[in-house]
Structure 1
Amino acid sequence: MAAGQRRWPWPPRNRRAKTGTWPWSEPGGRPSTPSSRSHARPVTLDASCSGWTGSMARVLLLVFGGLMFLLSLPGAAQEPVPRFRSGVDLVDVDVSVLDDNRLPVRGLTVDDFTILEDGEPRPIVAFSAVELPPRRRPDAEWMAVVAPDVASNDLQHEGRLVVILIDQSIRPEELPASVAIAEAVVDQLRPGDLAAVAYSTFGVPQNFTADRERLLHAIRQPLVGLPAGDGAGPALCPCGACSLETVANVAEALAPVRQRRKLLVFIGSSLAVHSAGPCSARLDAPRERALRAIDAANLTVYAYDPGGLPTLVASAGERRPAGRNRAMANLARVGNLRLLPDRTGGRFLSDTLRPADRLAEVFRESDAYYVLGFEPAHPDDGRFHRIEVRVARRGVRLQARRGYFGRAARVADAPASGAPTSPRLWETVASLWPVSDIRLTAAAVPLARPDLSGSVVASIVRVARGVDAPGAIDDMAQPGEVRVFTGAFNREGRVLASTEQVLRVEPQPAAGGAFEYEVVSRLDLPPGRYELRTAVEDVTLGRTGSVYTYVDVPDYRGTDVALSGVLLGAAPNGAVAPADPLAGLASLVPTTRRAFARGEDVDAFVRIYQGLTRSLTAGYVVAEIVDAADTVVYRSETRLEPPQFGASRAVDFRMKLPLDELPAGEYLLGIEARHGNASARRHVRFSVR
């Protein structure tokens, strides 16, 4: 390694991920499925579905229900080919066309396709050929594994939605292979892709995100948060029906998602689609529901058997020969695993030695696809209508949805406890996807109260006027009133803490002709992991928007060494409301900006805490900045003595970013505190232009 270069100083648990990370959330719309309902709780990716045990049977219905909110579509871009237009009530059909080698067929036009609804041709009024970016390995490892600490609701519309479903059928000896397969899926994510982790029985899932660290955490620690005394035994899933219920829930939720390819990677040693004996009747209803939902969603299913390569007798993982009955059962098991992939154009996979190679082939199949739109003949009857797509090419495989549901009357539930008083604000945080009517960027920063008496999360949200809401400059610059709701939600969508403010803001000019202001909210939260959702109603613009992010609150009292989140502040301060938003917690005015010009005056702030677990000890804090070539371009080391912590057991660390010395590019700031054998670290990505 060249002088001045080094590996990323704070490696994650798995350093195999080599692709970039991107904000996870996506714009949302409205449901279009029969008898769809809004949820009294916001939709989150909660614990998994058992299918048969009380409230657990409804979990994934709650989890994926928010995906029923349609994604926004871009406007027309080329003539004379029709493109997707906002405001037009269309049924979207994403179509993958593969050759004999299962590689995408490119270069097709709208004239190559025919759509039939219930056997009758329908005119194609919108068409888009989608080419997804290739997977590239960045020069610096941190660019692949460190997600931005800010989230935005400004996201691209195209890409993949990947659900990693870890099934209850996995046997203990298959767990290492299952984890390796799931990790390989995460490693294949490309720019714009979003993934989620779900379980068919107990397991702590992860909502849709591009943050690899969060996805890997959900994969490697599936039982974190499992209630004491609960287990994941067969009694929770009689006849394996819960697996079909989970597949159905996923497919029903993904059906209305527009312009994205949807992949379900089922990891399990069995999927009880057909069975003999008493289980046969019990599987009929969930099987038919799952098949119908998959047809409507155009969900491509890939089944990965962690037991290894199948044989005519036993799985490769078996250590003894199988008798005739066991061999026949194994053949039936493999046949069941193949059914959904064969129906949807996916694959059955069993190579546990090279899962990365097999999954690279899977992702290549969706590198290019087409999106067709037609006006439905019966848009509001609430019934299922068959769709058939034909392509004027011989010798190709075609993957497309097989039907759609007409809209039915929508029944709204009352807002949940802790919801904002404004129904308009509640609607913007009640779905899985944030609303992007106005451009928002958010950061969530945990801090401890004085004397470690509690913890507070600061939610900082930047609002950009004039980016997607064009209007007169005078309107964009006009001071006005905004309503802000910030809530912390658990994985069941329950509001654990919330705050609502009415603030007066004075936007200031920003890059690109926009006018910006920032609003800060504070929430008292105990240690734990939360999803923070913020909704902003700009009364002047008459628009609302929402943005979601995650925050991990440390146990400041019970941890030897802990850090607050990293705050960045730029001088002069921008338009921030309320004034001095972090009084008593931090000595700077925060911003969510992460792109700066050379020579700007920008400070980084972090507070270092020593908990009540031991006496105060001496230590030091190290700050490093690494560039896109993995080269350390700045390093400082500061000694910390016990008297500096005082009675509050905390000390502030503040530094200026050396922006006048950094060329344009991407950078990683890392701050690590070390006291004896205990340490804590934080990192922030930023760029210089």
Structure 2
Amino acid sequence: MRTRGCGLPVSGFLVVFGLSLATGRLAAVPVPSPPAAAESSEIAVTVVEIPVEVTRRGEPVLGLTAADFEVVEGKRSLPVVGFEVVDLAAPEPPDAPAPAAAASRNFLFLYDFAMSSRERLKDGVAAARELVDRGLDPRDLVAIAVYLPTGELDLLLSFTTDRAAATRTLTALEDLLNGKEAAAAAVGSDPLRLTGLGARALLSQTFQVHETNFADDARDSLGPMDGSVGSLLQQEALYEAGVVHRPAVEARQAGHVKSLADALWGLAEVLRPVTGRKYLTLFSEGFSLSLVPHVADGYTGSSVGNGDLLFKLRMTLGELRHAGWVLHAVDLAGIRRGETDGDGLFFLANETGGSVVEGTARLAEGLGAVLRRSAHSYLLSVQADVPSDGSFHPLEVRLRKAPRGTQVLHRDGYYAPLPFRHQNDVQRLAEAAVLVSGTDERDDLGLRVAAVSLVAGVETTRVAVLVEIPGAPLLAAGSPRIGVEVFGYALDAAGNSSDFFAQAVALEREKVGARLAQGGVRVLARLDLPPGAHRLRVLARDRQTGRATLLTVPLHVEAAAGPAALEALFLAPADDPWVLVRPEDAPFDIHGRGVVPAARGTLAAAGQAQLFLLGRGLAEEGTWIKNRILDASGKAMEGGLLELQAIAPGSAGELDLVMARLQAGTLPPGAYHLELRAGHATRAQSVAVRPFEVQPAQP
């Protein structure tokens, strides 16, 4: 791996949420009043998907149908237009499609560094590792975050099924807690937080601000008095010292509670794009609700109902419920006998329908009921016509003729769509992470992607990636400024992340509008991948309109000593109008020659285009290369000609290179594919297919 920058904007991220490219932190901001909806005259026909768990005596109720449910918004009943049964306990068929995103289970492990000791946090990390390895369904998504004494919430890992990424992140936490020095970052900051790569570099070295009363702790450690005058005086002195220090210590502890409430509010707001059932597991030694009166500005003394902060906590927990979160608290201090030090954790969990697990040794047991109950659920879809203003709409799901003792668990409601132009940068990044980690595909921008293995190393192979975004969709909005962001994440056959790239491009229409109209934006990137099958998830998005292309590109990387697949790559012509974005860490060098590739060849009528063929063994005697030209329907065409011009053997891990030229000849204007086959008497054939077009003759 290498050090790498991602070229994405940073401004505004620091004070909002943990997807910041610089630090990844959510700074504490005051808990606001419920946000006003964005003004909008647009009415969106919105399909709302509602995951519902139905239990009786703690066990899931099976066999229900759409007719058993009623969904109510205010005084009106919404018709159920879609219904799906989700059963994670049933064996998954090998060819089963991925479950709907709204039916997924999302587990966020949040570690409280402000009110927890280092040793107990270690226990919490070990318990989460065991749960990830053995307790969760492979389809469950996991995210990891830390809350720091500075009032910041760092999202280290976004929701993903990538267990290797979760392991990397938990290992980074363990290293920090064990005092290990951070190694030099192998890669740049992962903007979407999907890989766990570089997670250690994101972590602050700040631990608990040890808000304890040392006098009280010392007195407790002495044990019972022995009856001597010295023992009595010592106890009295420590008691008096404890009384003096207690208000200041409790005020600082209460400040952490306030900052935690602020951070949780931001968490719920920014992660609204995450669909499905959401479980927040808070690892903390907890706090006492008696601390609350010390927080309000200028406020002292006791407070009935714990006053101002209790109101803020309720507001924050209401926002969590609105966004579909259930908070389960893991009390790192373990079982408390007759104490109220951890009643704050019970309050947080109870207000969201969650539970408290006492001690990390019982984590799997404590969450076992949650996992068992949520393994079986129902996904209801209803249709609502609402303004596109991001406002919250309460919903109630009712079960017709429900037996006594039946519980129906569902989110409080839904948020209306918020137009892309009203979203801030961090909300957009959070949405991008959801898109990339999912399985959906779409193509609003007409994206083209090509990936070519260039140099094989001992453990990884350098793969050059080319992403082409046509200019016409980018110009359609008419904005004087044009922006596009590109993300690429490579996953191996097990779904674990191997490498990533990210790039943002900002252009001015006045300067490059003519070039975009004739071509578009061409972005080069680099991946370092181990041998094996991979799939590359690519997201390209217009930063002005939100229009996006999301697709999956299959990749296969051969070992350095193994056979290499045939690769073909068109070269851009000398008068190419495309805007080229070539980061320093992504040189497209072939045999020491820097080239500008094109995902699709473009030939003038009766014209020609240069291309490179790459593969292992192409320079060997007895190797043959055949080709044919196919039209859009797959029919072989006559009239074009491929000339092989020169052959150069590779060295130091490079592939052999064949330089070639494709002549359009008498091919009529249109879209085609060039099919190439290379073979040898001792090897199986390799095939490569590249698209090209022949343009109409100029008048």
TM-score by length of 1: 0.50
Q: Relative contact order: is structure 1 or structure 2 higher (C-alpha 8 Å, sep ≥ 6)?
A: 1
Q: Which has the larger radius of gyration?
A: 2
TM-score by length of 2: 0.49
